[in-house]
Structure 1
Amino acid sequence: MKVRVLVSLKPGVLDPQGRAVHHALEGLGFAGVESVRVGRAIELDVADTTSDAALTEMCDRLLANTVIENYRIERLD
């Protein structure tokens, strides 16, 4: 089964990469972009029997820094 984990910075955490992308978009002439937050997507291929608890533990222990990041787990199959 395919699983996607979407990781993003928590609200209020400074996102310098997002600021750089926002500035670059403005420099390219794209108006109307009010803010940009950059995150990451992690795709896993796991056994069908992998539990939600196991996926959550993977995120909590390795895939996301839960001090400054939120994550969302999506089952794709």
Structure 2
Amino acid sequence: MRQILTVLLLSACLAPVSLAGTQSYTALVTLDEAARKIIQQGRNKVLATRTETVDGRRVHIIKILTPQGRIQHIKIDADSGRVVK
């Protein structure tokens, strides 16, 4: 078990090195945090998530099913955590 944890931690540390030469970006609000924020705001069910660049900004797009049965796409700015219209 300890070896598995060591390997996982080591691979997490080395992951950015394997991406050297590609454009990297660290969001202040992760995709997971954005999805949790949407869930906490109501009885929404998250159907899908992705991150895209929109107008030069990184935006988390979260597809939800509302309590009324409607599907919506919510865009959250990855830097500020605010909903983008």
Normalised-by-shorter TM-score class: under 0.3
Structure with more relative contact order (C-alpha pairs < 8 Å, separation 6 or more): 1
Please report the TM-score for the alignment, with normalisation by the length of structure 1.
0.26
Whichever structure has more strand as a proportion of its residues is: 2
Please report the TM-score for the alignment, with normalisation by the length of structure 2.
0.24
